[in-house]
Amino acid sequence: MTWIIAFREIRDHVLSLRFYLGFALCLVLMVAGTLVLAEEQGQRRENLAPYLDQDQYRSVTEWANANWLMNGSLFLARPLPPLRSIVYGLHNLSFLAQVKGANYVLYQRAPLVGNPLPALFASFDVLFAVGVVLSLLALVFSYDGLAGEREEGTLRLVLAYPIGRGEVLMGKWLGAFIALAVLFTPCLIVVIFVGASHALIAFVVADLWALLGMYAGCLLYMGVFISLGLLVSVYSSGAGAALARALVVWALAIWIVPSFAPYVAAGLLEGQPALMVEANISRTRFAAEREGWAEVARFIRDRGWGEREEANWNLDWGTWSDAVPRLQAVLADEADKVALAAFSTEVMRAQLAEMEEVAARLKAAHMRDRHREVELGQMLACLSPLGPLTFMLTDLAGTGIAGEFHFRAGVERFKGDLVAYLHRQLAQRSMWEQVEAESFPYFTYGLEEQKARAEVLVYPLILLLYAIGFFLAAYLRFARAEI
């Protein structure tokens, strides 16, 4: 009997006007959004390609010295996720990091896209279509499943047959779920082909598995709202009351709870603003720079070179490591040049250690605070079914919070490796001699992306618990309700 009811529900849904309106709306939104995002992705991928070339590092080590590596810039890039054309994710996602030696890291979030106009208009992706449109459609399919038939009197007639109330409820759930799956599946297939057809976007096997996971997550999410619609329906006396309640529940779940979650988390966990942390790090580095120059200037005066014009340097003009070569160039004695270079290198090594110790400590504390704030925000956002769906789809696409944090962690790890490399180089040679290339650290992002995708397993479980919990609550109410 369950499947008889389910087939009747499927027929009613598929033959209804709302089914075809929902299908047309989802297809147009998803395809149009994918076309726009794929074009944007193609431009970004083409412009970012030079930074992904490992040869840029090898060419640097052919001529660079430790002084340049401490004050010059290296660019670290993550590949643009191909699935960003389907699930856009974070709007301020970082793709490029400028590592300025041992000084700072600057994250560039929108690299080298010449036309800023598309950013003014919203882009619709699969997450928007499923999270907003299909969740509403799931409620529309299920809100009158019990309340409407109770109002019309047909529910009493159905229950007059030898059929349990649980079978009726399950049949209605299955009917709405299968109808929505029939509506959504061809839309997603078309979107995948549209994204894959772009000349500069190529899906790999891992992306196909990620798409399969996204599909499963979307089906679970629709199942949650079908269960929620049945729960609303069983508590309502008529279809009108059920519709009003369903719209209120939908607004709370889709707009209110996810929107306020980050601000509530930020209010509960107070921490230093990022700009204040950067200011403290900059003050530490400037203080270390002044101390280093004071030591070098004292050495210069003790050697009797202080009266030379080349020995006078103002730190407003630049780092003191640029001043030493000016003085070396006018020293006549080769031994004096070697002594100045050796002493300056030792001072710079001590200065580098001092700066990085303080900077690493401040950054680690700041990142711990941010991680706690984000984790609390995610937990609060998961009070809405849209939260776990968003985190699951964006992390699978490589455009979510996990990918952003892993990219930044990888950049900081590279920066730590670079500082350790510089310490070794400064212990072995002058800071103005060419560095040794064999042990130079290289940055790769592939492992970070795998870690980010492996962290999504909790989100489908949350969606499954929501679907089962709402269904059981509807069943318990329906089992005791007067028809």
- Report the phi/psi class of residue 318: left, alpha or beta, with left for phi > 0 and alpha for psi in -120 to 50: left
96 three-state secondary structure: strand
What are 341's two structure tokens?
A: 């270079």
pLDDT 10s digits, 380-395: 999 999 999 999 999 9
342 three-state secondary structure: helix
Q: Are the C-beta atoms of 320 and 313 separated by less than 8 Å?
A: yes
Residue type, 342: A
Helix axes 205-234, 135-142, angle to 10 degrees: 40
Report which of 16, 32, 198 is spatially closest to residue 123, judged by C-alpha positions.
32
Give the chain's residues under pLDDT 50. Answer: 111-113
Per-residue pLDDT, 113: 46
> Which residues lie closer than 8 Å to 288 by C-beta, 6 or more apart?
351, 354, 355
pTM (2 d.p.): 0.86
Report which of 124, 125, 100, 95 is spatially closest to residue 112, judged by C-alpha positions.
95
Q: Can you tell me the distance from the alpha carbon of 376 to that of 60, in angstroms, rounded to the nearest whole number?
A: 42
Domain range annotation of the chain: 1-482
What are 157's two structure tokens?
A: 């007639």
pLDDT 10s digits, 90-137: 888 888 888 876 666 777 655 444 555 555 555 688 999 999 999 999
